[in-house]
Amino acid sequence: MQDVLNEIARAMAAETERGKVADYIPELAHVDPQKFAISLATVEGARYSAGCATTPFSIQSISKVFTLTIALGKMGDALWSNVGREPSGDPFNSIVQLEHEGGKPRNPFINAGAIAVVDAIMMGHEPKETLAELLSFVRYIADDDSICFDHTVAASEMAHRDRNASLAHFMKAFGRLRHDVDKVLGTYFHQCAIAMSCQQLAHAGLFLASDGVNQPSNIRVVSPQRARRINSLMMMCGHYDASGEFAFRVGLPGKSGVGGGILAIAPGQGAIAVWSPGLDEYGNSLLGTKALEMFVQRTGWSVFGH
């Protein structure tokens, strides 16, 4: 397996077309597009990495998997009265469906949906309490207490929040958000600004590959049914309006972020994290997707076989 990851890292280093680093969050525009990392954590406890797999990066929308997990833990199926679970077919920051659909976002992974999930988690608490809970959950599933928020990235997003603020205010006008919009946004931006390395991310995602059980601690994080459902949502909605393309090429539940990371889950096998900061036109990592496509071709770990 180490040979497979080395081969992928070598192939990605040779790529000249690397996509475009996100610059609508100015702080992310400084990241070096040459960076590449891949890590695999298997359900049997093996760990493999290639590239700069211990370098932390902004996980951005990958964090939506963790907040969804927390929200389902707190309120179970009641969450679905305010958030849908269908692919949107629209860009991650689109507002268009909200108007026709009563302010209810299509799924928890588009920005509107993730903002509604954060509002659901807050339950009357202040942002710092919600963020402390989120950080301790992420540190627990990654088994690493060094994981932190990048406050500079969060501040950069807050300063350029017009688009996300529009989504939040629009939902609030439909009675979908309970808390003050700026508090919800501040919480959401910090969530997106969690910094993690590929090694940490692969470890954190492992419970989704092993029917909801954290490894190697063997402690249950979610039920097998919930793990299956989160994986289904990642497969259907994790790459926004390119989710069909990702399923076609990779065939694994996956969640991307505009920091250039992707967390992919191979149920029963392991969790794979990749990072390459350059994005495609849909805001998903260009080489991250390519690397995962190569990975499933070599391993046959796609849920649809070789």
Ligand X SMILES: NC(=O)CC[C@H](N)C(=O)O
Separation of alpha carbons 163 and 272, rounded Å: 31
Does the annotation place 101 within a ligand binding site? no
Residue 205 near ligand X by CB under 6 A: no
- Give Cβ neighbours of residue 147 (< 8 Å, ≥ 6 apart): 135, 138, 139, 194, 195, 196, 200
Does the annotation place 118 within a ligand binding site? no
Neighbour order of strands in the sheet with 261-266:
47-51, 37-42, 270-275, 261-266, 254-256
Residue 157 near ligand X by CB under 6 A: yes
Catalytic site includes residue 222: no
Please give the biggest Cα pair distance in the chain.
Answer: 54
Residue 60 near ligand X by CB under 6 A: yes
Residue 62 or 122: which CB sits closer to ligand X?
Answer: 62
Q: Which residues are bridge partners to 256 per DSSP?
A: 262
Does the annotation place 258 within a ligand binding site? yes
Residue 111 or 289: which CB sits closer to ligand X?
Answer: 111
Separation of alpha carbons 304 and 287, rounded Å: 21
Closest CA to 255 of 301, 299, 289, 220: 289
Catalytic residue from among 240, 274, 276, 290: 240
Name the minimum Å distance from CB 225 to ligand X.
27
Residue 107 near ligand X by CB under 6 A: no
Task: Return the residue nearest ligand X (CB atom).
Answer: 61
Residue 93 or 297: which CB sits closer to ligand X?
Answer: 93
Catalytic site includes residue 240: yes
Query: Among 94, 97, 111, 187, which residue sits at the site for ligand X (rule: CB under 6 A)?
Result: 111
- Give Cβ neighbours of residue 240 (< 8 Å, ≥ 6 apart): 88, 90, 91, 92, 109, 110, 256, 282, 283, 284
The rounded Cα 249 to chain-centroid distance in angstroms is: 18
**Cis, bond preceding 216 (omega within 30 deg of 0):** yes
Residue 88 near ligand X by CB under 6 A: no
Catalytic site includes residue 64: yes
Residue 283 near ligand X by CB under 6 A: yes
Residue 192 near ligand X by CB under 6 A: yes
Residue 189 or 295: which CB sits closer to ligand X?
Answer: 189
Catalytic site includes residue 104: no
Catalytic site includes residue 140: no
Residue 69 near ligand X by CB under 6 A: no
CB atoms within 10 A of CB 278: 21
Residue 93 near ligand X by CB under 6 A: yes
Q: Is residue 147 classed as helix, strand or coil in its secondary structure?
A: coil
As annotated, the binding site for substrate includes 61, 111, 157, 164, 188, 240, 258
- Known catalytic residues are 61, 64, 188, 240, 258
Q: Which residues bind ligand X (CB under 6 A)?
A: 60-61, 92-93, 111, 157, 164, 192, 257-258, 283
